[in-house]
Amino acid sequence: MSFSPHCGASVALAPARSPSPWVQRWLALLPPGATVLDFAAGSGRHAQYAHRRGLRATAIDRDRGALGELDPGPMVRIADLESGAWPFADERFDAVVVTNYLFRPRFALLAALVAPGGLLICETFAQGNERFGKPSNPNFLLAAGELCERSRRAGLSVVAYEHGLVEQPRSAVIQRVCATRPDRDGALRRLG
Ligand X SMILES: C[S@@+](CC[C@H](N)C(=O)[O-])C[C@H]1O[C@@H](n2cnc3c(N)ncnc32)[C@H](O)[C@@H]1O
**How many residues line the site for ligand X (CB under 6 A)?**
16
Partners of 121 in the beta sheet?
A: 97, 178
- Phi then psi for residue 96, to 5 deg, are -115, 125
Q: Give me the least distance between CB of 163 and ligand X, in Å please.
A: 18
Give the single-character DSSP code of 145.
Answer: T
x/- site string to ligand X, residues 29 to 68, per CB under 6 A? Answer: -----------xxxx-x---------------xxx--x--
x/- site string to ligand X, residues 92 to 121, per CB under 6 A? Answer: -------xxx--------------------
Note whether 17 and 43 are within 8 A (CB): yes
- Cβ-based nearer residue to ligand X, 59 or 156: 59
Q: Give me the least distance between CB of 190 and ligand X, in Å please.
A: 27
Q: Give me the least distance between CB of 162 and ligand X, in Å please.
A: 17
- Which value, in Å, is the radius of gyration of the alpha carbons in the chain? 16
- Phi then psi for residue 135, to 5 deg, are -75, 145
The Cβ of residue 167 has, within 10 Å, a number of other Cβ atoms equal to 11
C-alpha–C-alpha distance, residues 84 and 14, integer Å: 33
Q: Which residues contact 71 (CB under 8 A, 6 or more apart)?
A: 48
Q: Give me the least distance between CB of 38 and ligand X, in Å please.
A: 7
- Asked if 162 is part of the footprint of ligand X (rule: CB under 6 A), the reply reads no
CA contacts within 13 A on the Cβ side of 29 = 20
Q: Which residues, 2 to 31, sit near ligand X by CB under 6 A?
A: 16
- Cβ-based nearer residue to ligand X, 99 or 180: 99
**Binding positions for ligand X, rule: CB under 6 A:** 16, 40-43, 45, 61-63, 66, 80-82, 99-101
